[in-house]
Amino acid sequence: MTPWITRMAAWSAAGWGVEALTDALRRGEPLARPVPYFTTGLRSPFACLLPQRVEAAELLETLIRQVLPTVPGRCGLVVATSSGAISGAFERWHAARLGGVPLHEPAWRQMAGQKIAKELYLSPHTTVSVACASGSVAFELARGWLRADRCDHVVVVGYEALSLYIHAGFAGLGALAAEGSRPFRQGRDGLVLGEGGASFLLEKPVIARRNGRLPLATLLGCGLSQDGVHLTAPDRTGSGIFRASQEALSDAGMGAAEVDIVSAHATGTPFNDAMESLGLSAIFQGSVPLHAAKPVIGHCLGAAGALEAAALVAMLGGAEVPEVPLIDAEDCPIAFRSVGPNPRIGLSVNAAFGGVNAALVFGRGGEGTVEEEAVRSRRPLPARTVALDRDHLPLADIHPLAPVALGRADNYVRAGIALLHQLAPASTTPVVLSSTTNCSAADLRYHEGLLRLGPAGASRLHFTYTTPGAPLAEASILEKLRGPAIVLCDGPEAGHAEAQRLVAEGAPCAIALHLECPAGHALGTATEYRLGDPDE
């Protein structure tokens, strides 16, 4: 079954609406301006901000309400974000209660989504947080829910609100540009942060037709991969982006020659642009029909994939495509070409901290529509389960090859490494990590330093672990994992359901990894699922 995208909305530095977004991309003028928070000591005191200050929860709710189905039915919600309500709500709460804070209390990434899902009776619902690939990974989950008949419609929304918490962290990593983002250009020196979001209504074609809705586009293919190289730096060979894109194209049943337009990750950071050039060149074996959104609206982190998908869908529907960006970097061996008239197929690629890569293939209108698929006769069954319940996790206990540098990791990260090592998964095994507390200890530790030392003194090492996928990222390096990675800010049931779905859809096996570390105490399980016998 090929989901139809029947409604979408966007809110970015360009203003409200998808048309405002595509108009800004067509003009190509960067929308960065000075930030409203103190950035003393940082060289990049600007970002691509929404026209007015909006709390993260308000941004999310506004986007969701714009795309709700007009006819009642079974509607799910997949929220994608990197920081959730950290920008604003978390910062105020922690600044007021610094010291003695119970680490299990914060649920800043999922709380806004849970609240709106309850108010609007949206079920199932979950929050995806795989850093800058979140907005793309959310589409894969939504499609899976429709195929598994868990619902008839799914709202997919990616959102991100900026604050000093995020700004100082990226500055500490040396990732921010001194003046502006210049992807694939000689002398490029970093990214410009952005905020905003985009939302979509994905539906089964039969349901959309019944309710008189036509498709803006179709979701033809999804591909996910891990680099397994570094927590924050990409695989410089571009193999992760290559594998995710190849999987998405294969899933869509087409080759690179059929792609009319590519939405590039194009952050403007030296290593990311170089690796993406290698990956895309290997896929297309020639010139690439490319456009890039981040130089105009900034890098919107967990919302980037959603906003870039909105722009791509609009261009497939007739919006004017921007001019090809200038390329003159010697380390970016790629040739770009203009997008032809009436593009029919689009590819969107994103990469993220933790080495996660995601690619999506979209078709124009009802392109490639396939109705219901045959119900699979076999069901996934748990094959092996390992558990952990400990206060202390010395490096020697979690993995025989654990480097000394992992000494800075907390028990949330160490527990994930230890559990996956016990299962010894194959390199291509998909892993779904779920947690309700996720990296809250790292959030608190980093923000405490930010408050005490100021923007320029905050620890970049602490910031690198403020991503819920950190345990999976570090484990992928040690276990050489290269398969799909999904991270949910949710309870164990959500993780088990996704792992089982991946097996039912064709993966030989998948692992559901659940971790909770209240007050530093590590609790966790890892369950490997495989297909059972037809009669089981």
Three-state secondary structure of 322-366: CCCCCCCCCCCCCCEECCCCCCCEEEEEEECCCCEEEEEEEEECC
Give the per-residue pLDDT at 63.
98
What is the pTM assigned to this prediction? Answer: 0.95
- Residue 53: how many CB atoms within 10 A of its CB? 12
Give the chain's end-to-end CA distance (angstroms, integer).
26
> What is the Cα–Cα distance from 231 to 312, expressed in whole angstroms?
29
> What is the Cα–Cα distance from 222 to 252, expressed in whole angstroms?
8
Give the per-residue pLDDT at 336.
82
Residue 412 DSSP class: H
> What is the Cα–Cα distance from 121 to 114, expressed in whole angstroms?
10
Place of tokens 């003028």: 29
Supply 392's token pair: 């202390």
> What is the Cα–Cα distance from 336 to 280, expressed in whole angstroms?
10
Sign for the CA dihedral angle at 258, 235, 127, 393 comes to: positive
The tens place of each residue's pLDDT in the chain, 536 residues long, gives 899 999 999 999 999 999 999 999 999 999 999 999 888 888 899 999 999 999 999 999 999 999 999 887 899 999 999 999 898 888 888 888 765 555 455 688 998 999 999 999 999 999 999 999 999 999 999 999 999 999 999 999 999 999 999 999 999 999 999 988 998 888 899 999 999 999 999 999 999 999 999 999 999 999 999 988 887 777 888 889 999 999 999 999 999 999 999 999 989 898 888 898 899 999 998 788 888 999 999 999 999 999 999 999 999 999 998 887 777 877 888 888 878 788 999 999 999 988 899 999 999 987 778 776 644 556 788 889 999 999 999 998 899 988 888 888 999 999 999 999 999 999 999 999 999 999 988 998 999 999 999 998 888 889 999 999 999 999 999 999 999 999 999 999 999 999 999 999 999 999 999 999 977 899 999 999 998 754 44
Place of tokens 């309850």: 118
- Phi, psi angle pair for 427, to nearest 5°: -60, -30
Place of tokens 């799910």: 76
Supply 468's token pair: 């819920």
- CA separation, residue 437 to residues 24, 108, 336, 490 (Å): 38, 9, 43, 9
Q: Which amino acid is at 72?
A: P
- Return all residues near 28 (Cβ < 8 A) that are at least 6 apart: 295, 296, 322, 323
Count CA atoms within 13 Å of residue 343 on its CB side: 31
- Could you tell me the domains of the chain? 4-364 (3.40.47.10), 380-531 (3.40.47.10)
531 three-state secondary structure? strand
Q: Tell me the Cα Rg of the chain.
A: 21
Give the per-residue pLDDT at 535.
43
Give the per-residue pLDDT at 249.
97
State yes or no: cis peptide before 518, omega within 30 of 0.
no
- Residue 99: how many CB atoms within 10 A of its CB? 6
Supply 368's token pair: 């490639």
Count the helices and strands in the chain (H runs, E runs): 17, 19
Are 238 and 214 contacting, i.e. CB atoms less than 8 angstroms apart? no
**For residue 55, how far is the Cα from the chain centroid?**
20
